[in-house]
Amino acid sequence: MVLQYNKVDIVTGIAFGVLCIPSSLAMGLFVILPYIAPMMIFKESSTKIYLFKNNKKNTFLITLILIFVIGGILAGINTLLAMSSISINVSFKIKWILDALCAGVFEEIFFRLFFFAICVYLVKNQELSKLQNILCYVIMVVPHVLIHFNLQTFNVSNMIVLSVLFGMPFALMQRKANLVSAIGAHAFVDFMRFCLLGV
């Protein structure tokens, strides 16, 4: 598989990096190549994740619905789960918009898009088998969920719940719709958590 770069992908990767930099310089720098490399891989493969436009009609409408409807549902679930240990503290800071965008961009690109692209590269442009497809979803979900635990808080049942409730929806958005929908919904969930819980 011969990979070729595209100037648009490079500019888009840099733009994602710039979005992250106000909250985290490291995340901003480390999101650029993990975006560009998958786009190079997908150009040579029939299995891919689109940035925004895909082969379906009403892409813009579908993306908005996924961001605000699915993102809103997940934000509600996230808030309800957190209320057992954190009290509601409604507030707003501009910083939270930037932090939410940073989390959505970095985590969706680094832990899902990039990992999926590695899977696609390893099968060398062949169609994914059912087992390979399942493994791809596991790879897109589990590493991202694990970063939200430490050795003291890790619990297998909690990991499974978070994987099903949050990891799989974002992975499905990327695979079935586009990257923007997953980033947007992820950022919306985090933004609502910041505004409702202050953390």
For the stretch 80-91, pLDDT in tens is 988 887 888 888
The tokens of 183 are what?
């980033």
Average pLDDT, the chain: 92
State pTM to two decimals: 0.92
User: 26-58, pLDDT tens digit by residue?
Assistant: 999 999 999 999 999 999 888 999 999 866 678
Q: Would you state the pLDDT for residue 28? A: 96
Each domain of the chain, given as residue ranges in start order, spans 7-197
Which of 82, 36, 70 has its CA nearest to residue 187?
70
- Statement: residue 74 has pLDDT above 90: yes
